[in-house]
Chain A
Amino acid sequence: MLTDELLWDYSDGFLEEAEKLQVEAYLRLHPEQQARLQGILAEKRAFSNLPLEKPGSDFASKVMTAWVAEQAPAKAGTIAKPKGRDWILWSIALAFGIMLALPFLMPASEAPTTLPLQIPADYMQQVQWPTFDWAGLLNSSLMSYLLLLTLAFMSLKLLDKYLQVRNMRLSGH
């Protein structure tokens, strides 16, 4: 028995090859069923021949007005700035890089061996100046890795920002 659902699937091309052949064979054996298929095809034609909805005579002009208005600030921006903003980002990145690299570039300074003031020798043994091994800290491998990671992270963030600005400019924002 050929259901309407099967006939619709057949007319829409949803059946597998074997099923399609079965339907065609059935229709050949039962020509009176052809009328059902023709009815379905007529309904499909009615759908496909439906007129499209009209948006209104001023739709296109409204779209173009909005599009031109959207593009105008972007064009003005590119005219006013002969150079892009990229150089600002790269300058900041360079400044950060130099600041972070300075501890590696500067020689580690030693603690002063001579005191600026003359202190009596009697007090020398009692006064103990607090010291910190800055050179040791800065030269330690842990600090080196931390600084390298920070440099890498900053570089990636700046690259991401640069690409965002570039994509926005390409898309017309």
Chain B
Amino acid sequence: MSAAITDETLIQQALEGRQAAFATLVNRYERYAFTLALRMVKNREDAHEVAQDAFLRAFRYLPDFRGDAKFSTWLYKIVYSTSLNFLRKQNPEIQSLDDESRPVRLADHGTPDASYAMELSDRNAALQMAIGQLSSDDGAIITLFYLYEHTLEEICQITNLSMTNAKTKLCRARQRLRTIVERTPEIVGH
């Protein structure tokens, strides 16, 4: 029944103070927010915290949501910036996620998720792993474009990149992902 209710209606109800509307928004977007956060912070517990913070921030600033973009785009922008702030707290030297001289590497991240994913030994898990090996920015942009099927314009709104930069980043991320995929027998051998 809640699937028939549009985001705009839920936002209106939430602004009137109906807690059920907030809960519906969380249920509707929790997996999208968590997946995007996980692509960036590379750790499930941290992604949990980031996604939760992002939802709370979204609710706090809901009165400022003007509706000129989709709610999902606005929410993912908050998830993206919350993830970025989290990464900067972990590593204050980060100036840009795209700085290849200082790649974002988080200690002890990925190993528990890697062993979990490899146990499944199916193509999807291998693809998830391949995306997980990308940098935070590459993982985010690949997820937004190919998994969430956002347009480049929406990705620019989420990441604050120019159109040219977003296209360049996406092409580079795609190349890096294809390199990883070609080295992964579980994907290539399918």
A residues apposed to B, CB below 8 Å = 4-5, 8-9, 12, 14, 43-44, 46-56, 59-60, 62-64, 66-68, 70, 170-173
Contact = CB atoms under 8 A, between A and B. Distances in A.
Residue picked from A44, A47, A62, most chain B C-beta under 10 Å = A47
A172 B34 contact: no
Contact of B51 (A46, A48, A50, A55): A55
Given A59-B34, A59-B52, A68 B63 contact: no
Contact of B127 (A14, A46, A62): A46
B178 to A, nearest CB: 8
Contacts of A170: 63
B174 to A, nearest CB: 6
Given A5-B171, A9-B171, A50-B147, 14 more contacts: A47-B142, A50-B124, A52-B34, A53-B34, A53-B35, A55-B30, A55-B48, A56-B48, A59-B30, A60-B30, A62-B52, A63-B55, A66-B52, A171-B60
Given A55-B47, A67-B56, A67-B59, A47 B23 contact: no
Range of interface residues on B (Cβ < 8 Å): 35 or more
Question: At the interface, is chain B mostly helix, strand, loop or mixed?
Answer: helix
A64 B26 contact: yes
B130 to A, nearest CB: 10
B34 A63 contact: no
- Interface of chain A: mostly helix, strand, loop or mixed: helix
Interface in B115-169: 123-124, 127-128, 131, 142, 145-147, 149, 167
B146 A70 contact: no
A52 B59 contact: no
Nearest to B146: A47
Contact of A55 (B22, B31, B174): B31
B84 to A, nearest CB: 19
B32 interface: yes
B127 A171 contact: no
Given A46-B127, A53-B31, A172-B60, A59 B48 contact: yes
Contacts of A171: 60-61, 63-64
Contacts of A12: 145, 170
Interface string B24-63: 0011001110110010000010011001100110011101
B149 A8 contact: no
B26 A60 contact: yes
Contacts of A56: 48
A173 B56 CA distance: 12
Contact of A67 (B22, B35, B131): B22
A52 B32 contact: yes
Contacts of A66: 52, 56
Nearest to A172: B60
